[in-house]
Amino acid sequence: MPQSLRVALAGLGTVGTGVHTVLTRNAEIIQQRSGRSVELVGLADLDLQKATALSQGQCPVFSDALVMLRELKPDVVVELIGGYGFAREFVLAAIGQGCSVVTANKALLAVHGRDLFDQAQKAGVTIGFEAAVAGGIPIIKALREGLTANRIEWVAGIINGTTNFILSEMRDKALSFEEALSQAQALGYAEADPTFDIEGVDAAHKITLIASLAFGMPVNFQAAHIEGISKLSSQDIAYAEQLGYRIKLVGLTRRRENGVELRVHPTLVPSRQLLANVEGAMNAVLVKGDAVGQTLYYGKGAGSEPTASAVIADLVDLARLNASSGQTTSVPMLSFQPEHLQDLTVLPIADCETGFYIRLRVLDQPGVLADITRALADGGISIDAFVQRPPQHGVQEAEVVLLTHRCIERNLRLAISRMVQLPSVLNEPITLRVEDLA
């Protein structure tokens, strides 16, 4: 029987506890699949009492993960500490000690991944991060292995369960954003400070990693365009429904001839699309490859055992590899061989191409729609659909909603600047992006 894979686990929060539970419960089937046992040789958490209770004397416990690393010299460390600071120090120390790393820390990899992946490559170890994107959904493995024959054209995903729950509640129950957020917090879907989720940062961390895997580029989180849902109105959600769309917070990356689009923002998606029908706190990722066409990956994007499932999948990969060949790395960490990674240009949002939803208040008088249409036409932008809410009794104002065909955002902004100069337009137009994902 091959020697067991010796694993040290740092961070015993929701996911860390789940990893311990699933590894213990499914030890036999994990060994049958990997060819050898995956053995927890140490646990580390600032709450030493919690670590002791979880261990039940089966392995040593530590309050300092670095001390655990130095004393135990494991084959693999699982980093579930979170954050950018100590977690980065711990991962670098593990790599320096010749130890592979498995992590669910998308923020760490999105911000510091360029350096961490480079250090791991030089040290001949690997960083597994299946759990860092979409929880239990095996999207990393799909991009690195299952779709490896494809030229990936684009990837679009609902990759933050908190915001998807909020948008589902706003649509289903006609709640305001604030009401839906309060409900999400009461049910445990949103943190007390939900900023990373509702402002799109969490989704941007994830789509940054996906873009690297899809297009063979180093992680470049700083270049991502990020918008959240905190300013979204239930009025716009209702109009979108009327037009046959649903509004989702979508992370999208697309390869274009002149670079890569990398963006997160509220997006109108056709209600007939599978992605539009992902509700509640669920996640889904849609991948378009040139050979396979569209493939959809759906499931729980967070939670103790779903995320633990992804962590352990990386551990099994490492156990299989070492058991069969003695190697320390498997498929390339970012899908492409390191020498073929390219610093592709991430396009500014003004150069991205999409359709647009525009809502504006106008005077209820002849010629107004013609003036608005002319402002768009001057920028080469055509209208796909529009609805108009008639003025209320005694009010000489109307509300107009337009959908445009695809255009470069820079041209749309110029058209909007011309619109607001019209005496008949009474507000700064509300604009949202539209993606048909066809």
The percent of residues above 70 in pLDDT, for the chain, comes to: 97
pTM here?
0.94
| pLDDT at position 116 | 97
| pLDDT at position 338 | 86
| pLDDT at position 329 | 55
| pLDDT at position 367 | 87
In the chain, residues under CATH classification 3.40.50.720 are 5-136+304-340
- Please report, for residues 55, 139, 165, the alpha-carbon distance to residue 199 in angstroms, rounded to integers and kept in the order given: 38, 23, 14
Known catalytic residue at 73: no
| pLDDT at position 402 | 95
Determine the Cα angle at 156 with ends 91 and 341, to 5°: 50
Tell me what the mean pLDDT of segment 121-140 comes to: 93
Q: What are phi and psi of 214, to 5 degrees?
A: -75, -35
Q: At what angle do helices 14-25 and 304-325 cross, to 10 degrees?
A: 50
What is the Cβ-side half-sphere exposure of residue 348, based on CA atoms within 13 angstroms? 3
| pLDDT at position 332 | 83
Question: Which of residues 43 and 390 earns the better pLDDT score?
Answer: 43
Residue 116 and residue 91 in contact, taking contact as beta carbons nearer than 8 Å: yes
Tell me what the mean pLDDT of segment 169-175 comes to: 94
| pLDDT at position 303 | 86
Tell me what the mean pLDDT of segment 185-193 comes to: 90
| pLDDT at position 397 | 86
pLDDT at 11 exceeding the cut of 80? yes
Name the nearest CA neighbour of 285 among 161, 147, 157: 157
Least confident of 42-56, 87-101, 342-356, 379-393: 379-393
pLDDT at 172 exceeding the cut of 80? yes
Residue 409 and residue 403 in contact, taking contact as beta carbons nearer than 8 Å: no
| pLDDT at position 12 | 96
**Active-site hit among 106, 206, 248, 288:** 206
Kindly report, residue by residue over 52-82, the tens digit of the pLDDT.
999 999 999 999 999 999 999 999 999 999 9
Q: Is the dihedral of CA 32, 35, 37, 38 positive or negative?
A: negative
Residue 359, strand partner residues: 401, 430
CATH classification number, 145-299, choose in 3.90.1420.10, 3.30.360.10, 3.20.20.100, 3.30.110.40? 3.30.360.10
| pLDDT at position 7 | 97
| pLDDT at position 364 | 85
CATH of domain 352-434: 3.30.70.260
Token reading at 378: 């001057």
pLDDT at 242 exceeding the cut of 60? yes
The percent of residues above 90 in pLDDT, for the chain, comes to: 84
Kindly report, residue by residue over 284-333, the tens digit of the pLDDT.
999 999 999 999 999 998 889 999 999 999 999 999 886 555 455 568 88
The fold adopted by the segment(s) 5-136+304-340 is Rossmann fold (3.40.50)
Largest separation between any pair of C-alpha atoms in the chain:
85
In the chain, residues under CATH classification 3.30.360.10 are 145-299
In the chain, residues under CATH classification 3.30.70.260 are 352-434
- The residues near 283 (Cβ < 8 Å, ≥ 6 apart) are 134, 135, 137, 157, 158, 159, 160, 161, 164, 298, 299, 300, 301, 302
Kindly report, residue by residue over 407-423, the tens digit of the pLDDT.
999 999 999 999 999 99
pLDDT at 173 exceeding the cut of 80? yes
373, exposed or middle or buried, with CB in 10 Å at 0-12, 13-18, 19+?
middle
pLDDT at 276 exceeding the cut of 70? yes
- The residues near 21 (Cβ < 8 Å, ≥ 6 apart) are 304, 305, 308
- The residues near 12 (Cβ < 8 Å, ≥ 6 apart) are 20, 43, 44, 45, 47, 50, 51, 54, 80
